[in-house]
């Protein structure tokens, strides 16, 4: 049998010693946050939670881009979809996220032109084919996807495709870590840093944060052995009384990251303050448009009115994203809020913590 590169990191002979190492070393109670939504799903899918000693509590963090998008921005996207002459394009996850008074899926059913695309370049081509329409792409995601959106904007600028607009709700991870540790409600002893984001940013992006807060941080990949190694490295740090930035994903993450992707992102975007669901406004955690590219800014060109913004009543998504509640603490979980009838975004997204709990966590 041929073993693929990914499957090697699921082999029992690799995983079992890591579990033993964690059990042997872990003595004091600690709370570790996996920042990335893909980590959350992988941890549940592989059963890692059940393998860890009781001293370790895993918290799910704000690493799902759909989940952290503020209610105001969801409502603004819905308002954009209803504008005359607008063709709205988006990734599929956003379609079912409830806004204050509806969702993009409902807007599409009502007859508005909303299309699911697989990349910003797909949206750009739609703009080229429909010069009499404003084609708006919802730019959502972290440092992982922002460079590809920046590339589409740069190409649109080069080709003078003026009707290609982007509503940017991109966010950056290091600033969110800062907000989490400064929040008096949170209690986090260490972070599993996101592998995908770190491929772009490199370890260097986290060094100022770790230096300021002296909190253990380890970049993790996504296979069971990757995640267990990162947890073992965090436990080693804590039991040794150290706080360092370490890399458990060296086959993909370097110190400097992807220089070309970062340069493209910096060419098109500049840091701006952004509002995160649950975490509120975080300085310099969003990506706005730099001068030469501002004519592609949908917020500036179309000024969508989100109307009367209302957070979903009794929904605990904001607290779940900060790790101060689990989905099981939410009164709506599994009853009023399910994947078929989501009340909050954490139940919608494939990377959402509530969706992962609903699918994998025992409820008895």
- 280-297 average pLDDT score: 97
Task: Report the interhelical angle of 224-240 vs 12-25 (nearest 10°).
Answer: 20
pLDDT digits (tens, 9 = 90+) for 331-343: 999 999 999 999 9
pLDDT reported for residue 13? 76
Residue 130 has pLDDT above 60, yes or no: yes
pLDDT band with cut points at 50, 70 and 90 for residue 6: low
- Strand, helix or coil at 310? coil
pLDDT band with cut points at 50, 70 and 90 for residue 10: low
Question: For residue 158, what are its two tokens?
Answer: 């080069």
pLDDT reported for residue 163? 98
Q: Which residues contact residue 38 at a Cβ distance below 8 angstroms, ignoring those fewer than 6 apart?
A: 63, 194, 195, 196, 222, 351
Residue 4 has pLDDT above 90, yes or no: no
pLDDT reported for residue 61? 93
Closest to 95 (Cα-Cα) out of 149, 138, 145: 138
User: Whole-prediction pTM value?
Assistant: 0.92
Q: Which residues contact residue 215 at a Cβ distance below 8 angstroms, ignoring those fewer than 6 apart?
A: 181, 188, 189, 190, 191, 243
Residue 3 has pLDDT above 50, yes or no: no
Residue 364 has pLDDT above 80, yes or no: no
pLDDT digits (tens, 9 = 90+) for 190-225: 999 999 999 999 999 999 999 999 999 999 999 999
For 227, phi then psi, to 5°, come to: -70, -45
What is the distance between the alpha carbons of residues 46 and 295, in angstroms, rounded to a whole number? 46
Task: Report the interhelical angle of 146-158 vs 259-268 (nearest 10°).
Answer: 60
pLDDT reported for residue 2? 42
pLDDT digits (tens, 9 = 90+) for 162-175: 999 999 999 999 99
293 or 9, greater pLDDT: 293
pLDDT digits (tens, 9 = 90+) for 31-79: 999 999 899 999 999 999 999 999 999 999 999 999 999 999 999 999 9
């Amino acid at each position: 049998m041929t073993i693929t590169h990914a499957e090697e990191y699921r082999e029992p002979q690799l995983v079992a010693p890591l579990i033993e190492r964690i059990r042997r070393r872990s003595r004091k109670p600690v709370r570790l946050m996996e920042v990335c939504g893909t980590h959350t799903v992988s941890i549940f899918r592989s059963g890692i939670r059940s393998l860890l000693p009781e001293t370790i509590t895993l918290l799910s963090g704000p690493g799902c881009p759909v989940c952290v998008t503020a209610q105001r921005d969801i409502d603004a996207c819905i308002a954009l979809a209803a504008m005359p002459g607008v063709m709205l394009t988006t990734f599929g996850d956003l379609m079912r996220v409830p806004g204050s008074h509806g969702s993009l899926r409902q807007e599409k059913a009502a007859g508005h032109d909303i299309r699911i695309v697989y990349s910003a370049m797909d949206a750009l081509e739609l703009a080229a084919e429909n010069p009499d329409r404003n084609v708006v792409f919802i730019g959502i995601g972290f440092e992982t996807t922002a460079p590809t959106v920046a590339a589409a904007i740069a190409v649109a600028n080069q080709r003078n495709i003026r009707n290609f607009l982007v509503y940017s709700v991109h966010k950056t991870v290091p600033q969110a870590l800062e907000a989490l540790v400064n929040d008096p409600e949170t209690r986090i002893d260490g972070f599993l840093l996101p592998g995908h984001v770190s491929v772009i940013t490199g370890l260097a992006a986290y060094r100022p944060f770790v230096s300021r807060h002296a909190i253990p941080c380890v970049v993790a990949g996504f296979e069971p052995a990757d995640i267990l190694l990162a947890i073992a490295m965090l436990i080693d740090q804590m039991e040794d009384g150290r706080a360092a930035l370490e890399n458990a994903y060296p086959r993909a993450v370097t110190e400097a990251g992807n220089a070309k992707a970062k340069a493209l992102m910096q060419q098109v975007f500049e840091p701006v303050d952004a509002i995160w669901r649950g975490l509120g406004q975080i300085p310099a955690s969003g990506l706005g448009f730099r001068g030469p590219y501002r004519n592609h800014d949908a917020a500036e060109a179309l000024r969508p009115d989100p109307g009367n913004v209302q957070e979903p009543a009794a929904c605990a998504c904001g607290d779940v994203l900060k790790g101060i509640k689990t989905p099981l603490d939410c009164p709506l979980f599994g009853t009023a809020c399910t994947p078929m009838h989501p009340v909050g975004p954490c139940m919608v997204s494939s990377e959402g913590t509530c969706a992962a709990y609903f699918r994998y966590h025992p409820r008895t």
